Structure 1
Amino acid sequence: MMSSNSASYSPPGGIKAPAALQQILQQAGIAVNGTQAWDMQVHDPMVFDRILQTWSLGLGESYMDGQWDCQRLDEFFYRLMRDELDESVQGFAKVRLLYEIARSKLFNLQSKDRAFQVGEQHYNAGNDLFEAMLDPRMIYSCAYWAHAKDLTEAQEHKLDLICKKLQLKPGESLLEIGCGWGGLAKFAAERYGVKVLGITVSSEQRALAIEHCQGLPVEIRLIDYRDLTGSFDKIVSVGMFEHVGQKNYAEYFDIAHRLLSDQGIFLLHTIGSYATVKKTDAWIDRYIFPNGHLPSLVELSQALERRFLVEDLHNFGHDYDKTLMAWLSNFERAWPQLQTQYSKRFYRMWRYYLCCCAGFFRSGQGQLWQLVLTKRERQQTYLGYRPSF
């Protein structure tokens, strides 16, 4: 916290911000109670104490509590993250920062007995919410926008991109680790004639996925990946690896190696960080994705060493910004119907989540990778695929 004799800046409206915090905001082109769409509109001066004490947690919780607003939250976060000024602010919250680092080092936050926690907290939030926010197939991962005119088409292109990279053939077996609401499983079974086993840690996802895949050779199980057995021609994991955790990477890839046939292909689609980070964002961890961790390429390459060959690496991280903004637009449009089931605080939490993630990817700190992996035993040369449309 700032001392009582610290210099302060007095923005329009008379609310005073501590000078050091104000300087950081100004470096990002953000004003307190300014006129630009990305400026903070502060209603309660206690916001600054909350930010200085716990940074990310205080910033997010004070927004949820209505203590400040911002017309373009996505641009607010983009400006903070563009020059990594968010790291400067964290210096004020050293105690909390050290706690988060120690917590991630000392404990396996993604252990088997914690595996279903993210399903219960996030993915079970409500199928009506996700149906309103997502595309008709309910694909909750980055879309592929290179040749798409809208979210529905961008998600279909992403699914087809995955299937073609996997070189799926009729009659093959496909394991999907983290199947969501069954969108990819249904697409692969219908379009490519494969048999699919999809697994999830969300009971709500499983129920709807079974409904979506009725009549198709698709099985959906509520199971942790560490309990899987069998052998599969192809394996895919889309948007699930973020929940595995660095302490479990070796085990995760060992299991995938055991489950994949020698001539098979494994496609891993994951959010990543452009730099190795020691902690998870405290607000995201508490309110959105408990126990998550975004890998860096260094962490991935170390875990893959002596396990898999990297045949292809495709980065389309900026597409996640566009995907998140499309989800935000759908969510805002649906809110008049959703508000009978969800609180105003939930609305502010969800809007904050989508906007801060959009800013994360817009800044380049957030990346989206698709890795095509094979075993050394595979005898065919893998020919990479990019759509021509």
Structure 2
Amino acid sequence: MTSDNCIGPIALPDTRARHVVEQLLDGSGVAINGDAPQDLRVYHPEFFPRLLHQGTLGLGEAYMDGWWECDRIDEMAYQLLRHGLAERAHTPSERLMYRLQAGFFNLQSKARAHIVGEAHYDLGNDLFERMLDPTMCYSCGYWKEASTLPEAQQAKLELACRKLALEPGMRVLDIGCGWGSFAEHAARHHGADVTGITISREQAELARERCRGLPATIELMDYRDLTGRFDRIVSIGMFEHVGHRNYPTYFETVADRLAPEGLFLLHTIGSNHSGITADPWINKYIFPNGVLPSAMHIARASEPHLLMEDWQNLGPDYDRTLMAWLANVDARWHEIAHRYSERTRRMFRYYLAICAGGFRARHLQLWQVVFSRDRHERYDAPR
């Protein structure tokens, strides 16, 4: 893919900006206009100034605009992260602005909770149906004994059910139910009575269709409006949207809704560090106002309300999951190309690839944490 009718990398002048970029890349294993799969092929002379001025936001937007190409963006991201470019890739003004916003404003308040739903999850069910597998799980699969994406997602859903020790007739709450993957699985295969909530209208519509005829109810609702008590609570791939200012409220809500002998499973992407930051490109184009929790964030916020029973890291499995989603996008995009722009296609390819590289570099983690409220029995987590 090139821009401006280029048939290959253009001969760029040896500008100061290019020289600075090449110095930053030195020793990373990533080169400009090289032959390796992770090398960048640059097609626009303003790429280097844009990269230095805008950091990762400029890198991502330049890819969406067709200013550069790379055969393996996932490997490029992996190499750059291993080389230590994660912080240097963000401009100081970007980091300061997000920290100021997150510090003075609740970016994930109830009034703003709909933003990520409308910006990302409501893009179109037809897009996600082609990117994901038939389970419509939009979270990390469990690849321990799986060889295909559907197998990995079924294994993840079943692992969550086993960790929760589900039994027929149990009242189960699914916070951030997505397209109903867990609700359908728990109701169909374990006889659970499931209530799923989401802030996405598109997700709610499809989830209700998928759960028709099963003991599962899907509500368009913010978690802060919940009432009632549940034997089990699960939250898969939603905590990333809660925000650090709301962590205490989140765990207090879960504790209030959980029966005394109940169990709660939290499945979330995690950060290695406790600083309040976000990648500016991901924040603008994929998950607005998202914040990744650290282990310390989770431990501190949950401690007054819940007892931590088990913690499992599945981070490497997300690399494989994201690459499977990327393969689906590449294989099936032609089916929806008439509805979405080429820029949107490149946006999704870039998003999936750089995230895969992030998990491969262990820059990102995926945690499943099990909590209890007032449990007296010993808990042994299945694996």
- Name the structure 2 match of 1:5: none
- Name the structure 1 match of 2:377: 380
Partner SS, residue 18 of structure 1: helix
Specify which of 172, 182, 185 is matched with residue 170 of structure 2: 172
- Name the structure 1 match of 2:257: 259
Identical-pair percentage = 51
Q: CA deviation at 1:324?
A: 0.2
**Is the CA contact (8 Å cut-off) linking 1:24 and 1:89 kept in structure 2?**
no
Q: Deviations over 1:332-359 (max 9, x none)?
A: 0001111111000101111000001101
- Name the structure 1 match of 2:153: 155
Trace 1:203-214 onto structure 2 (pairs within 5 A): 203-214=201-212
- Name the structure 2 match of 1:368: 366
Specify which of 310, 313, 320 is matched with residue 312 of structure 1: 310
Partner SS, residue 143 of structure 1: coil
1:80 aligns with 2:77: no
Partner SS, residue 33 of structure 1: coil
**Is the CA contact (8 Å cut-off) linking 1:12 and 1:33 kept in structure 2?**
no
Distance 1:103 1:58 in 2: 20
TM-score (norm. length: structure 1) = 0.94
Partner SS, residue 87 of structure 2: helix
- Name the structure 2 match of 1:219: 217
Distance 1:69 1:259 in 2: 49
Q: Kindly report the root-mean-square deviation, in angstroms, between the aligned alpha carbons of the 2 structures.
A: 1.2
Trace 1:242-257 onto structure 2 (pairs within 5 A): 242-257=240-255
Partner SS, residue 88 of structure 1: coil
- Name the structure 1 match of 2:337: 339
- Name the structure 2 match of 1:36: 36
Q: CA deviation at 1:97?
A: 2.4
Q: Deviations over 1:312-370 (max 9, x none)?
A: 00101000000000000011000111111100010111100000110110110110000
- Name the structure 2 match of 1:195: 193
Specify which of 274, 283, 286 is matched with residue 285 of structure 1: 283
Partner SS, residue 85 of structure 1: coil
**Is the CA contact (8 Å cut-off) linking 1:275 and 1:365 kept in structure 2?**
no
Unaligned segments of structure 1, at least 5 residues: 1-10
Q: CA deviation at 1:200?
A: 0.3
**Is the CA contact (8 Å cut-off) linking 1:271 and 1:368 kept in structure 2?**
yes
Q: CA deviation at 1:84?
A: 2.2
Distance 1:235 1:86 in 2: 35
**Number of aligned residues:** 373
**Is the CA contact (8 Å cut-off) linking 2:18 and 2:48 kept in structure 1?**
yes
Q: Relative to 1, partners in 2 of residues 1:19 and 1:248: Cα closer, same or farther, differing over 3 Å?
A: same
Distance 2:277 2:97 in 1: 9
Q: Deviations over 1:61-112 (max 9, x none)?
A: 111111111111001111111232121233xx22222212212212111111
Distance 1:18 1:89 in 2: 15
- Name the structure 2 match of 1:68: 68
1:58 aligns with 2:55: no
Specify which of 327, 330, 333 is matched with residue 329 of structure 1: 327
TM-score (norm. length: structure 2) = 0.95
Q: Deviations over 1:138-180 (max 9, x none)?
A: 0000000010010010100000000000000111000000001
Instruction: Say which is worse superposed, 74-83 or 173-182, in terms of deviation.
Output: 74-83
**Is the CA contact (8 Å cut-off) linking 1:21 and 1:89 kept in structure 2?**
no
Give the AA of the match of 2:377: Q
Distance 2:240 2:315 in 1: 15
Partner SS, residue 26 of structure 2: helix
Distance 1:84 1:303 in 2: 30
**Is the CA contact (8 Å cut-off) linking 2:10 and 2:43 kept in structure 1?**
no
- Name the structure 1 match of 2:5: none
Give the AA of the match of 2:110: K
Distance 2:75 2:11 in 1: 23
Q: Relative to 1, partners in 2 of residues 1:171 and 1:57: Cα closer, same or farther, differing over 3 Å?
A: same
